[in-house]
Amino acid sequence: YSGKKKEQQLTENMMNMKVRDFQSIPVVVQESFSVYDAITQMFLEDVGTLIVVDDNSFLSGILSRKDLLRTAIGTTELEKIPVHMIMTRMPNISYCHKNETLVQAAKLLIERQIDALPVVEDADGGLSVVGRLTKTNITKAFLSLAENHDF
Ligand code: ADP
């Protein structure tokens, strides 16, 4: 292959990488969860971002490590504060769909300066959470692109 052909192949491989191929399982908590329980859940599940869902299991909020830290240093009764009081909420959540390209998702992560996106499906009355896309997923995709490429 010529250099040009290889470059075209790399571009094509990159644009064929979809959210669905690299997404992780979503780790969700209910709006009524306490901040204390959310911190425990974050450690147990070994994630940096928790997705909050409402009673219908629709996307309702996001909790980052710093959201929880901020509350933890300012408050003593973490068991009494429900996560819905401190989360970033809809409609201010950035999310993606599983058929989108990883490049689109990566652009959103960088533009909004966030670590993760919920992967959603449109449902009647809300957005169903079907996955989680993080900077780690993008890094893995980047590596797979390099490993599958014949330099
Ligand atoms: P950290 O706060 O630990 O640095 P992030 O950079 O991911 O982690 O989060 C920064 C802020 O943006 C937090 O307040 C968080 O609630 C919010 N946030 C995180 N992910 C999203 C998202 N997908 N959409 C909207 N806001 C988000």
17: DSSP letter: -
**Cα 63 vs. chain centroid, distance in angstroms?**
11
Cβ of 68 below 6 Å from ligand 1: no
> How far away, in angstroms, is 108 Cα from ligand 1 center?
12
Cβ of 65 below 6 Å from ligand 1: yes
Cβ of 62 below 6 Å from ligand 1: yes
Question: Regarding predicted confidence, which is higher, 147 or 117?
Answer: 117
Three-state SS string over 66-79 comes to HHHHHHHHHCCCHH
Strands (E), the chain: 28-30, 49-53, 59-64, 88-89, 116-123, 126-134
Joined together, the tokens standing for residue 87 give 């989360």
Give the tens place of pLDDT for each residue, 72-121. 998 889 999 999 999 999 999 999 999 999 999 999 999 999 999 999 99
DSSP three-state, residue 60: strand
β-strand pairing of 116-123 with 126-134? antiparallel
Identify the structural domains of the chain with CATH numbers, from first to last.
Answer: 3-147 (3.10.580.10)
Cβ of 117 below 6 Å from ligand 1: yes
Query: Residue 103 and residue 109: Cα distance in Å, rounded?
Result: 10
Give the tens place of pLDDT for each residue, 24-69. 999 999 999 999 999 999 999 999 999 999 999 999 999 999 999 9
Q: Give the ipTM of the model, two decimals please.
A: 0.98
